[in-house]
Amino acid sequence: MTYLDKIIDFHRQRTQADRRNIYAVKEAAQQKPMPPSFAGSIQKTSAVSDVALIAEIKRGSPSKGQFDVSGLLPVEGWAQQYAEAGANCLSVLTDSQHFFAEPEDLASAAKTKLPILRKDFTVSQLDVLDAKIMGASAVLLIVAALSDQELEEFYGLATEIGIDSLFEVHSDEEYRRIKHLAPKIVGVNQRDLQSFEVDINRAVEVAVALESTTIKVAESGIESRKDVEVLTKAGFDAILVGTSIVESSNIQEQIRSLLGS
């Protein structure tokens, strides 16, 4: 069983055990104030500069283990450093089982007022609703992990409650599964979720298949300004970066270096 299989299986089992009334949860989500627009922030930034940055609050990963983030905590201050250095949006891990996240991380990061992607393995309508309740502006839909029916259902629900969806693909074949939905935002993850290894050419190769009107986000394996320049040349509007920022000796300098500022 691969990393992805194990993680998705865990989340599906947890969903099956969740006895909350979906109508009550939906009502709670709809009563939450509208978050800042994730897509809007990227579009606004990419219109005036070469790329938008989605900086990730990341405590660890299955492949690398737990990071030493003691110098970055509390999360509110960590997120504020990202904002001050020029991040346009945030991505916040909420999977405590596999990524060492804390349940309060997203709400703490939301105090920056930046749009936030809830970075988790969405497998149910409740996951979509919880993202809005937590204060997220967008939910992650991993195409490799979901059926065609689930992708359409979750996208529709997210749109209904007023948050964006970032469809994550790893190949043009996966993109073709969602093309008919006219997705507003597509992320190309350069990390293979079966092996967790990174292919730095993946995003450039897949970008060719994406519609010109789609907001394009490159994810994983982005470490330097040179990497960013390759991606912007390929047509990407935004980059999502976690590890190379978190593991740097000076996170604000790393962010400014990535943005060429």
pLDDT in tens, 3-30: 788 899 999 999 999 999 999 999 999 9
Residue 1 pLDDT level (bands cut at 50, 70, 90)? low
Q: Which residues constitute the domain of residue 31?
A: 3-259
Could you give the maximum distance between any two Cα atoms of the chain, in Å? 49
The total of structural domains in the chain comes to: 1
pLDDT at 47: 86
Mean pLDDT of 129-136: 98
Mean pLDDT of 134-158: 97
Mean pLDDT of the chain: 95
**Position 203 pLDDT exceeds 70:** yes
What CATH number is associated with residue 102? 3.20.20.70
pLDDT at 43: 97
Mean pLDDT of 185-213: 90
* C-alpha distances in Å from residue 236, one per residue of 75, 115, 205, 227: 28, 19, 12, 12
What is the torsional sign of CA 62, 122, 191, 219? Answer: negative
Any alpha helices (H) in the chain, and if so which ranges?
A: 3-16, 22-31, 38-46, 75-85, 96-99, 105-109, 125-134, 148-161, 172-178, 202-207, 225-233, 243-246, 251-259
